[in-house]
């Protein structure tokens, strides 16, 4: 059986790495890998970290690319790959434009599709945008649904998916996270990582409580990011015992308001995107994590860190139900953080 795994962003690579490594071990599966490189720089370091070799690299990323651009280029390029490879199953992950384009291209060619992380829902097509509809469209096209939780499975059942075609697998991002955490567990490794943060970013841990922030969602562009930044500035101004570390996304729409509002704020470190291993170490040092990311909503609680999800809705309600995360950005961010964090 030939399985072609298609992905294009760093989160997809992280979440699919454990799956790809298991496929490589199989004697009955011919595992092939295609990356669209929807996110070029942020993808490559994950491929290197997990030792993933690509059979196809479409290198689609362009400066200032829109959803129209990425979707059209991916659809055309993937047709060529699929017709050449003729896989028995095309495996995609999550809610990205790459996942949607690969599923649509496979459907046009009448190829079977498997969806890792199927069934997550907010039931609001603009939150998150375009991820909610990407995921629903992939689920409507695929043949095998790999749901991370019973809740995600139940969403699929309510939409009429055959129970026998659904497998509840757990979150593959946690497999990746635990692997990295195990590698970094040695004291000597921890010393090296602490030295990297001190020398490269001027950050030390232990003297102040560390708040880790990430943000990149399209629905927050503009006013939403400005409100987030104003809240972060308020936290830093009112709490002398806190340092905020904010690895910035490469998208200019996610960076401009952050530099404009927070660039000169004491105790806020704005840094470039971190390698995944460094970011896992940073989360391990955190007192609180603020994010609009889907994967980090799962990773941080797995490390015992409370999370404030800076969105209006989340497709991952399990952490909220478990009491490890809160969702919202409507009321002042500083008040929400104070209510969310535990001493």
95 is catalytic: yes
Give the other-Cβ count within 10 Å of 251's Cβ: 16
The one catalytic residue among 79, 218, 255, 269: 218
199 is catalytic: no
Residue 250, preceding peptide bond in cis (omega within 30° of 0) = no
218 is annotated as an active-site residue: yes
Indicate which residue of 216, 217, 227, 311 is catalytic.
216
DSSP, residue by residue, 275-338: PHHHHHHHHHH-SEEEE--HHHHHHHHHTT--EEE-SS--S-THHHHHTSEEE--SS-HHHHHH
* Residue 41 annotated to the active site: no
Distance CA 325, CA 258 (A): 23
Q: How are the residues of the chain apportioned to helix, strand and coil, as percentages rounded to the nearest 5?
A: 50, 15, 35
36 within 8 A of 8, measured Cβ to Cβ:
yes
Strand order, beta sheet including 2-7: 56-57, 30-35, 2-7, 89-93, 112-116, 144-147, 166-168
Q: Which of 249, 311, 316, 329 is catalytic?
A: 249
Catalytic residue among 32, 40, 73, 117: 117
Of the candidates 12, 95, 132, 292, the residue annotated as catalytic is: 95
Active-site residue, 131 included: yes
Question: Given 12, 131, 175, 219, which residue is catalytic?
Answer: 131
| Residues acting as catalytic residues | 95, 117, 131, 216, 218, 249
């Amino acid at each position: 059986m030939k399985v072609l795994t298609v992905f294009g962003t760093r989160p997809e690579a992280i979440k699919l790495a454990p799956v790809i490594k298991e496929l490589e071990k199989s004697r009955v599966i011919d595992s092939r890998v295609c990356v669209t490189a929807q996110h070029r720089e942020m993808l490559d370091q994950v491929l290197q970290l997990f030792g993933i070799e690509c059979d196809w690299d479409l290198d689609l990323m362009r400066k200032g690319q829109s959803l129209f651009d990425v979707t059209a280029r991916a659809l055309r390029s993937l047709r060529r790959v699929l017709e050449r490879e003729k896989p028995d199953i095309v495996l995609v992950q999550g809610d990205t434009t790459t996942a949607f384009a690969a599923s649509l291209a496979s459907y046009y060619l009448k190829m079977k599709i498997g969806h890792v992380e199927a069934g997550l829902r907010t039931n609001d097509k603009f939150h998150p945008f375009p991820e909610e509809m990407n995921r629903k469209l992939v689920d409507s096209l695929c043949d095998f649904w790999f749901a991370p939780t019973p809740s995600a499975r139940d969403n699929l059942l309510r939409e009429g998916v055959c129970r026998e075609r659904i497998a509840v697998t757990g979150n593959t991002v946690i497999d990746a996270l635990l692997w990295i955490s195990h590698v970094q567990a040695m004291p000597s490794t921890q010393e090296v990582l602490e030295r990297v943060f001190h020398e490269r970013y001027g950050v030390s841990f232990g003297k102040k409580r560390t708040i880790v922030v990430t943000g990149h969602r399209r629905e927050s562009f503009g006013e939403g990011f400005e409100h987030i930044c104003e809240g972060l500035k308020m936290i830093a101004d009112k709490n002398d015992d806190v340092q905020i570390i904010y690895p910035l996304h490469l998208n200019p729409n996610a960076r401009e308001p952050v530099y404009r509002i927070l660039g000169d704020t004491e105790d806020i470190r704005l840094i470039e995107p971190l390698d995944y291993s460094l970011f896992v170490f940073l989360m391990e040092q955190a007192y609180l994590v603020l994010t609009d990311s889907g994967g980090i909503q799962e990773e941080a609680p797995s490390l015992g860190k409370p999370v404030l999800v800076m969105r209006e809705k989340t497709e991952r309600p399990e952490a909220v139900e478990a009491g490890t995360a809160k969702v919202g950005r409507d009321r002042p961010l500083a008040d929400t953080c104070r209510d969310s964090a535990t001493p």
